[in-house]
């Protein structure tokens, strides 16, 4: 995909957020796709213009610096064992391995998972992206001959990191090797999300969060080459590609990938 086309697609997203912005109107106002997106988004823009204008300014900066930002990603492996330990302890992702024979003798009946008092059995709401402005610096999938279980999203240190959905904080700290200051949220019996390498954590274990709650400030703690969020979404033990479960991103496309529009 040519770079000009890519930038044009980014501009569509900007146009969606900035109805009435003179510059965008002048540039795209006579084009049909712009008119349509403008008409469709008028109502939302009125409500969010203050936040959106700040995100717009940051996004322009990140786009200008994207060659540098794309180098900000994980600098090494994260401890999968540590994450699974947190998930299993919370009861959202029961271990699938057969219980040890001795344990089976002691517990004749299967042990029921702990009750969920703070999150629903099955989350039925929407998901949002954890950042308002960012450059994707590393996609989910094969990397360095191993599986990259998250998506790396680079931005300036201090960029706000938001909860993608309502839920409970099941981990907030720096004790999971490689992840730096990391937050893990559970959203229901199976679905969790993880936000790593933060400079500051704004919530603590046991807190309830709403979708869009500020949970951390982006940073470069843990195994990291520069300020970014390593972002994971899990279904049980298994990490899934965030692009397959979150809405199509308004902003940056990944390196070498078509724009997420
Ligand atoms: Zn990562």
**Which of 21, 39, 64 is the last residue in one of the domains?**
64
User: Rounded CA gap, 240 and 261, in Å?
Assistant: 20
Cα–ligand 1 centroid distance for 131 (angstroms): 15
pLDDT band at 113 (very low <50, low <70, confident <90, very high): low
53 pLDDT above the threshold of 50:
yes
45 pLDDT above the threshold of 90:
no
Q: pTM for this structure?
A: 0.73
User: In this predicted structure, what is the pLDDT of residue 106?
Assistant: 54
Cα–ligand 1 centroid distance for 205 (angstroms): 22
Q: How many domains does the chain have?
A: 2
User: Rounded CA gap, 162 and 226, in Å?
Assistant: 19
- Output DSSP code: residue 211: T
User: Rounded CA gap, 172 and 185, in Å?
Assistant: 9
Q: What is the pLDDT of residues 144-197, one digit of tens each?
A: 788 999 999 999 999 999 999 999 999 999 999 999 999 999 999 999 999 999
Q: What is the pLDDT of residues 194-229, one digit of tens each?
A: 999 999 999 999 999 999 999 999 999 999 999 999
- Output DSSP code: residue 249: P
User: In this predicted structure, what is the pLDDT of residue 118?
Assistant: 83
Q: What is the pLDDT of residues 71-94, one digit of tens each?
A: 999 998 899 999 999 999 998 766
User: In this predicted structure, what is the pLDDT of residue 105?
Assistant: 55
58 pLDDT above the threshold of 50:
yes
User: In this predicted structure, what is the pLDDT of residue 223?
Assistant: 95
Cα–ligand 1 centroid distance for 19 (angstroms): 34
Least confident piece of the model among 38-42, 109-113, 128-132, 159-163:
38-42
- Do 137 and 27 reside in the same domain of the chain? no
Residue for token digits 């900000």?
A: 72
- Do 30 and 124 reside in the same domain of the chain? no
Phi, psi of 42 (to 5 degrees): -55, -45
* Structural domain range at position 224: 66-261
- In sequence order, the 6+-apart residues with CB closer than 8 A to the CB of 34 are 12, 15, 24, 28
Cα–ligand 1 centroid distance for 141 (angstroms): 10
**Which of 46, 64, 82 is the last residue in one of the domains?**
64
- Do 166 and 244 reside in the same domain of the chain? yes
User: Rounded CA gap, 254 and 257, in Å?
Assistant: 5
Cα–ligand 1 centroid distance for 128 (angstroms): 18
Bridge partners for 57 per DSSP: none
Question: How long a stretch of residues is the chain?
Answer: 261
Residue for token digits 């040519």?
A: 2
pLDDT band at 35 (very low <50, low <70, confident <90, very high): low
User: Rounded CA gap, 180 and 219, in Å?
Assistant: 9
Cα–ligand 1 centroid distance for 203 (angstroms): 21
Helices (H), ranges, the chain: 3-17, 22-28, 32-64, 66-69, 80-90, 101-106, 242-245
**Which of 64, 82, 102 is the last residue in one of the domains?**
64
């Amino acid at each position: 995909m040519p770079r000009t086309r890519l930038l044009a697609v980014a501009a569509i997203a900007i146009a969606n957020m900035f109805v009435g912005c003179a510059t965008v109107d002048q540039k795209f106002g006579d084009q049909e796709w712009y008119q349509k997106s403008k008409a469709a988004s008028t109502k939302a823009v009125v409500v969010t213009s203050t936040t959106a204008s700040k995100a717009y300014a940051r996004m322009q900066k990140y786009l200008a610096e994207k060659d540098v930002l794309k180098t900000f990603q994980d600098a090494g492996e994260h401890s999968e064992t540590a994450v699974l330990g947190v998930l299993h302890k919370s009861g959202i992702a029961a271990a699938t391995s057969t219980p040890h024979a001795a344990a089976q003798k002691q517990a004749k009946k299967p042990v029921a998972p702990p009750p969920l008092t703070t999150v629903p059995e099955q989350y039925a709401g929407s998901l949002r992206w954890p950042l308002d402005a960012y450059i994707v610096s590393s996609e989910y999938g094969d990397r360095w001959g191993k599986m990259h279980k998250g998506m790396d999203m680079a931005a300036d240190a201090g960029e706000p990191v938001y909860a993608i959905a309502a839920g409970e904080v099941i981990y907030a700290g720096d004790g999971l090797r490689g992840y730096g200051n990391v937050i893990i949220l559970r959203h229901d019996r199976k679905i969790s999300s993880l936000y790593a390498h933060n400079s500051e954590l704004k919530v603590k274990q046991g807190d309830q969060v709403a979708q869009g709650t500020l949970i951390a400030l982006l940073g470069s703690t843990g195994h990291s080459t520069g300020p970014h969020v390593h972002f994971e979404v899990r279904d049980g033990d298994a990490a899934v590609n965030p692009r397959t479960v979150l809405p199509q991103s308004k902003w940056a496309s990944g390196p070498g990938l078509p724009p997420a529009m």
